[in-house]
Amino acid sequence: MRTRRAAPASAALINSAPPPRFYVGDGAGASATPANAVGTGATALHPAALPGVALTFDDGPSPLYTPRVLDVLRRYHTPATFFVVGYHALQYPDLVRAEARAGMTVGDHSFDHPNYPPFAALTAAQIDTEIAQGRNALRGLAPPPRLFRPPGGSFSPYVEAAAHRLGLRVTLWSVDPTDWAAGVSSRQIVARVLGAVRPGSIVIMHDGGGNRAATVAALPAIIAGIRAKGLRLVALRE
């Protein structure tokens, strides 16, 4: 079921009562819930800000782009979070190890990254398998993941519960510069991030799943621009 990612919907993050299950973004530049969410009930839950801005990267690791993203993050002393696709982790385990060694947070992004049907519309057994196998693929490569980002941001009460049973929080985003879109330029990515980011933002970008040269090129200006706003860059933690 290795379908590649569709254009994801922007998503505001939500927070649940203890034990917390969702990381929360500020909602900047985002709709209230993912367009393909199923029965989320998100409007009944309350957001809470992070102690800074979190850069997150999906769909890797990629042997072409992940090392380049890590190089920029190291040069600019910037923590970040990588949501790793399980079968890519099995293909390129040294890249996952490199993320962990660099002090980045490594999260579960499912095993096969299914897009059709949307993740939340899969059967319960398929959802359970995707989350569990994605987590298991990271075993021995990085600290046990505590975060799960569903493909395309597609989630439901069942997805939330399935992740929670495995000790994972569903983690969405609040700023999406659509760096995955064909023809997008590094300048556009920078402008979209800096135009939307604010305290508590979670920014989604990509180090895999396609040509990510524009994302790599945009990163130095994104980091500098966020810091120029007086905002601290943080990795997502449990």
CA 216 to CA 205: how far, in whole Å? 10
Residue 238 per-residue DSSP state:
-
Q: What is the mean pLDDT of residues 25-49?
A: 34
Query: For position 210, what pLDDT does the model report?
Result: 95
Which of 88, 108, 206, 207 is flagged as catalytic?
206
Annotated catalytic, 58?
yes
CA 18 to CA 16: how far, in whole Å? 6
Per-residue model confidence as pLDDT tens digits over 88-114: 999 999 999 999 999 999 999 999 999
CA 119 to CA 148: how far, in whole Å? 12
CA 148 to CA 163: how far, in whole Å? 7
Position 42 pLDDT exceeds 70: no
Q: Please, are residues 52 and 234 in contact by the beta-carbon 8 Å criterion?
A: yes
Residue 91 per-residue DSSP state:
H
Please provide the average confidence, as pLDDT, over all residues in the chain.
83
Question: Which domains occur in the chain, in start order?
Answer: 22-34+46-234 (3.20.20.370)
pTM: predicted TM-score of the whole model, two decimal places: 0.84
Annotated catalytic, 206?
yes
pLDDT band at 50; cut points 50, 70, 90: low
Which of 58, 59, 108, 207 is flagged as catalytic?
58
Which residue type sits at 18? P
Query: For position 51, what pLDDT does the model report?
Result: 72
CA 40 to CA 161: how far, in whole Å? 12
**Element spanning 220, H or E:** helix 213-228
Query: For position 60, what pLDDT does the model report?
Result: 96
Per-residue model confidence as pLDDT tens digits over 133-178: 999 999 999 999 999 999 999 999 999 999 999 999 999 999 999 9
Per-residue model confidence as pLDDT tens digits over 181-206: 999 999 999 999 999 999 999 999 99
Position 237 pLDDT exceeds 70: yes
User: H helices of 102-149, where?
Assistant: 124-137
User: H helices of 82-212, where?
Assistant: 86-91, 93-101, 124-137, 157-165, 186-196
